[in-house]
Every structure is written in C-alpha cells, then in structure tokens.
Structure 1
Amino acid sequence: MRIEFGALSADPKRTGQRYPGIRCFDVSGGRLKAIIRAVKWCDIAVVGGGELVQDVSSLFYTPFNLLPIFLAFLFRKKSFAWAVGIGQMHELAPLTPLLVRIALRLCSGITVRDRGSFNVLHRLGFREPEMILAADSALTLSDYSTEAKKSDILGAAPRNVLNRSGKFLPLEIRKKFRNYKEPDPLPAADAWAGILDAFAGRHHSEIVMFPFHTGSLSNNDHEFCDLVKSRMNHFSQVRFADPSKPEEFTDLISQCRVFVTAPLHGAILSVVTGTVPVSVSYASKCSRFMEQAGLEDYLIAGESGIPDKSVTAVVERAWMNSESIVQRMIPVRDKLVQRAAKTAEHFRAVFNL
C-alpha cells in the first residue's frame, strides 16, 4: 500500500528538501487556508504530537488545535489524535471539556502521552480500546538508545513564558496591536542568568543554550536566550545550539551532562539521549513528564515563569550525581520507549494498515 504524507510548513521548500516526497501546505498565506487545503487533500487528518488542549496561553489555542478534527468531519474524512497532551482541569476554560468531548468523539482513535492526559479524558467519558495510554513520540528516537559519551557541558533552555496569562487572543495577534505591551522579561532573564552564572563560576564548564521555539506563535526562545546571556557575568562560557539543524541540536543535547530546561521537550530529549534533565516547570505538562520518568526530585516549579534560587542547588546535585541518576533513568526510559511505540501500532490497527 502506497501512503502519501502531507504537513503544514512555514518553509515548504526546505521541508520538501529535508523530507523528499512529502506534500507541503504553505502557512505563509494563512494558517486557516492551509489547514483547509490539507484536510481536503488527505484521507486521514492527524492532530497532536504535542499539547492539544490548554487555555493558559490563549482561549483560541484549543479551538484552533481541534479545528482539523471538525474539518475532517465536515469533509467526510477520518481523523486521529496522535500522542496528545491534555491540560489538566485547572488549565482549561469552563466550556473546553465539552468542546474536547465533542471533538475527540469524532476521532477514529486516540493515544495520549501521559497518565494525567489519560485521566482527564477518562473523566470526560473516553475509554480503552479507542483511547490508548502511550508516551511522547520523541521517545522513539532510537538512534540514541546507546548513550553518547558525556562532556562537561551544561545545557540550558530558558524560555519567557510570561505571555501565558489566559488572554482571549493568541500572542501572535496581540503583538500586532499598537497598545500591546509585553510583560517585562528582565526579572526572568536575571533569574536565569543568576542560575547559569552560579554554575559557571563554580565549574568553569561550557554552557550551551538551546532555543527550541523561534517562530511567531509564541515568544522567541532565541531572543530570550540572547537576553539571558547579556545579563550574565560569565557570558564568554556560553554558546548557542542551532535549532535549524535538528540532528546536530539533538546530538549536542546528548553530549550534555545535565540539561536545565523550561521547554518540555528539553526534558524529553534529555531522557531520550541519556542526559539528566532539570525541569523548570511552567505548566502541568512538564511536571507530568518528570513524574512519568521518575525524576520528580529534579523538577522545580517556576513562579510566573521566573525560576527561583532553588534551581541552583538542584542543578548542582544533578551535576554531581549524574552518572547514578542516568543508571536509574535508563530502565524507565526503555519502558517509555515501548509505550511510545503504541501510538503507531494503534494507528495501524485502527485503519487496517
């Protein structure tokens, strides 16, 4: 059976070069138009691979993410929710559970990436076997099943999350208004700079910053990483990873001894590559993963996106005990890898592929 793949892309030429044969739908002319074209073209619309439902960053977030499912129903196509994350009840607007219940009932199959997401959907009436507990798809990067040799590198992925204030409109639209005023990022940048300076002054090791998100939908990680570096005393020990080169980006994570991260996938890719993550959590998805990986001791909740001083001590503890932490982490990771594979298995079973 010949299967064709399509994907939304902000750079169709580059996506096509990187993944030969894929059908690209250019979002530069408007995301909504691209989504409609893609759903009309496909036989199965796949949503997910990340946090599908939450209302903290914008009240438009959930409806927009669920739109392909409703369009698939409208155009008489099938749909599948792939390894999705679901925000916890305190992260959802009052009407969101009803919207989720209606939308996901239209899906031919559902897999979720963590127990917390499973529990929310179970509460909304979803059951096995149509809903399967899996794990994040990034855990299937099997090239990293054998740990790389570690260097004395501290990986860091700061993020400005002050935009997550439950506003009605998405950040990308709010920024276009003349009266838009961005929350002051300096307190958060200074907090991150203090954490990294404390480490650099003690160990004189290299620090590599990893800007995960550089698009327009949210705050640009590269801009915030630049700001953090500019506030550091030991800025000369810092260099940047290039997110436009995913293999090199991930390989560099695999070389880090410890990785302190706000983005969820900083923690996930650390576990994938056998690096110890320290998660500066800003949403339940971060804490859900760290608990899933048995790494609760290396989870710190950031207040309003500003990490507190306890991060310094946790990073130091992770650095000094990294080898033993990795040894305990690997068996758990291997189980998560097996669970992550369930998504593709469920997809094939549902559609008889």
Structure 2
Amino acid sequence: MRALLSGYYGKGNGGDEALLATLLQMLPSHVTPVVLSGNPEQTHDRYNVETCDRMAPLAVLQALRSCDAFIWGGGSLIQDVTSTISPFYYGGLMALAQKMNLKTVAWAQGIGPLLRPQTRWLARQNFAGCTKVSVRDRASAALLSDWHIPCIIAPDPVWALESKPVPGLWDLPAPRIAVTLRSHPQLTPARLANLTRALVDFQKATQAFILLLPFQKSEDLGIAQIIQSQLKDVSQILSLEDPQLLKGVFRGVEMAIGMRLHSLIMAAAEGCRCFALSYDPKVNRLMEELAIPGWDLATLPDDTNLIGKTWIEHYANGDPLLPEQIQSLVDRALMHRELLNEAFS
C-alpha cells in the first residue's frame, strides 16, 4: 500500500519535520510513504523516502493517482489565521483524494482558528469524509464533536519521537538554558529588546549558558543573532536540521524559554522546566494542559526586572514534569500510531 503524506514538510521548520519523522516512525511497515515536500531532494536524503514537489500540480496529481491513501500529517494545517491560502491548499488536496476514493486520514491535527465561513465549510467537509481522524487537543476535539465527526484525541505525536544525543553538547558550559523565539507581529522590536535585556540579567544571576535554537532558520535565525550579540561569551546558536537531534538538545538543558509549540513539547518530554511565550492559541492550549507558566506576547510586561525575576524564580523553584507524567503523555501519544494501524489493517 502507498500513502501520500501532506504537511508543511521540507520548509525548514523543526516542529513540522519532527511531525514527519514521527509519522514515518509510526507508519505500519507495509505502507510505503510518498512525501509532498517543499524541498524534495533534502526530504529524500534525510528520510530515505520517495518524495514529490508539493507545489508542482501535475506531479502531485500523478502522486495521488499512484497512491492508495492520503494522510494529513500532523500540525495546524487547517487554520486561516497565519494564511488564508493554506486551508484551501490542504483542504483541496484532501477533497481531491476523497473524490478519487483514496483512504483518507487526518492525523494528529490541531484545528483552527477558522474565522472564515468558507474555510469552516471546507474543513467540515474534509473531516467528515475521512476514514479516520485524530486530533492533539481538546479544542479541536470539541469542534469535531459539534460537527458530529468521530475522532480520537491524544497528545501531540512528537512526545513519542525518539531523541538522539547531540555531539559536543556536554562540552558546553553548564547549566544550560535553551531559548527559542520566532519572528511574529506580536514580537515587536520593543518586546524583543525587553526580552533580550531580561535574558542578559537572567544569565548574570544564574551564570547559565544560553543555547539559542532557531527551529526555522528563515524565521528564527535573525532573532537568535540579535540576542547573541548581547550575550557574546555566554551563548551559542545551535542550528540543527535533524528533528531527533533537536529534541536531544533538551536532554542537556535545565530550562527552556520558548515561543514555538514543539520546542516546549520537546523540552517537557525530555524533563526540562518550561516557560512559554505564546503567540498562538495552540501554545495556550499546551500551557493549560501541562500548567506551563508563561505570558501571551501581547500582554508581556514592560518591566524587564519583572521578566527576569519571574524566570529566575521558575529556574530556582519550578518543577519539570514528573517521569510518570512524561511516560503517560508518550503512551497516549502512541494512540496516533494505533489509529494508523487500524486505518491500514
């Protein structure tokens, strides 16, 4: 059996690459994956899978014709806040796959926000036509329940991604703090300057070594460079492409300060204290579910002393998840694997 995998793959985003790596890890052995990618050669080389350019319409159509199944492969594909085109791209592919009578699976989805009536209508049609659906949060499950569409709910699959040790990480000074910021309209120059000042104070107080982790170079690297210029001898930018290595970084880190959802999931999964800076409802959902402290960027305090003191307090007295909590999340994340086994049995 051949399955076409569709997601935000091959675009240099560590979180989406982690979802792809986990999906490939969870696919039943008799299913041959074909991956739609923004960088087909890189995706082929990294995962040793058949690939297709996600933006080449004829090639995508041929790939659909050559496959027996189509999978939406995790993440916030169906939302119309960061992009109005995105839900029509993914929704159009799903509708086409369903019209061609392929087995269709919506896997590990975080649905919404859906602000426009037409995207809500398309999403409802798409999900209703799926063979199997799994979601990663309660809000997505509630939306599908309102639409009378059955689904399973389980933690994000990246909880179950196997991490790899990072060469040279343990040679860096300890203790280590990981910081993952991304460009976003809410991360204004003034807020970035305040966070950087607070980070400098925090570093002086804790004598920690700061690891700046760009999860997506095009969005994150410039911000990491701005921060590093203020922390010259006590920080390092770590640019890692392999999602298993990216997760492995957090094995050697005391605390993570993160905007990106999957930076927080990876950190929490590796037993790291987490502090969130939310720019998106999906980050707020994780904060609620795991009781992760943090701020919405839109309401970030202007007082850099308060930011720094809050981080110091969490560093000194905050608790990571207990090993049994982590194991429970990993075990439940494997329900996404069971869904694939059922769909392709």
Determine whether 1:25 maps to 2:52.
yes
CA distance in 2: counterparts of 1:343 and 1:311, whole angstroms:
37
The answer to whether the Cα contact below 8 Å between 1:154 and 1:259 also exists between their aligned partners in 2 is yes
How many residue pairs get aligned? The number is 309
Instruction: Classify the secondary structure of the residue corresponding to 1:303.
Output: helix
What is the alpha-carbon distance in structure 2 between the residues aligned to residue 212 and residue 152 of structure 1?
21
Q: Is the 8 A contact 1:293 1:333 kept in 2?
A: no
Contact 2:52 2:59 in 1 (8 A): yes
Give CA-to-partner distance per residue, 1:212-268, whole Å, 9 cap, x none: 1135xxxx21122223333x2x33312111222433322222211000000101110
Among candidates 180, 187, 191, match of residue 188 of structure 1: 191
Q: Give the CA deviation at 1:96.
A: 2.8
Question: In structure 2, which of residues 197, 203, 207 is the aligned counterpart of residue 204 of structure 1?
Answer: 207
Give 1:92-241 correspondences, 5 Å limit: 92-127=115-150, 131-143=151-163, 151-162=174-185, 185-215=188-218, 220-230=219-229, 232=230, 234-241=231-238
Cα displacement (A) at 1:51: 0.9
> Could you tell me which residue of structure 1 aligns to residue 332 of structure 2?
339
TM-score by length of 2: 0.81
Q: Does residue 1:248 correspond to 2:273, yes or no?
A: no
SS in 2 for 1:111: strand
The 1:334–1:290 alpha-carbon spacing in structure 2 relative to 1, beyond 3 Å, is farther
2:254 counterpart residue number: 257
Q: CA offset at residue 31 of structure 1?
A: 5.2
The residue that corresponds to 2:9 in the other structure is none
* Uncovered stretches (5+) of structure 1, i.e. residues with no partner: 165-183
* Alpha-carbon RMSD: 2.6
Distance (Å, rounded) in 2 between the aligned partners of 1:103 and 1:301: 32
After TM superposition, give the deviation of residue 115 of structure 1 in Å.
Answer: 1.1
C-alpha contact (below 8 Å) 2:228/2:236 kept by paired residues: no
Query: Are the aligned partners of 2:195 and 2:307 in contact in 1 as well (CA < 8 Å)?
Result: no
Report the alpha carbon displacement of residue 3 of structure 1 after superposing the two structures with TM.
2.3
Query: What is residue 313 of structure 1 aligned with on the other side?
Result: 309
Structure 2: runs of 5 or more not aligned: 1-28
Conserved? CA contact 1:157–1:266, under 8 Å: yes
Change (3 A) 1:187 1:45: same
8 Å contact kept, 1:241–1:249: no
Per-residue CA deviations over 1:318-343 (Å, capped at 9, x if unaligned) read: 21025xx12x4433222221221111
Q: CA deviation digits over 1:157-176, x for unaligned, max 9?
A: 011111x8xxxxxxxxxxxx
Aligned to 2:323: 330
- 2:36 pairs with 1:8: yes
Residue 277 of structure 2 corresponds to residue 280 of structure 1: yes
Whether the aligned pair in 2 keeps the contact of 1:211 and 1:221 (CA below 8 Å) is: yes
| Partner Cα separation in structure 1 for residue 39 and residue 192 of structure 2 | 30
% same residue: 23
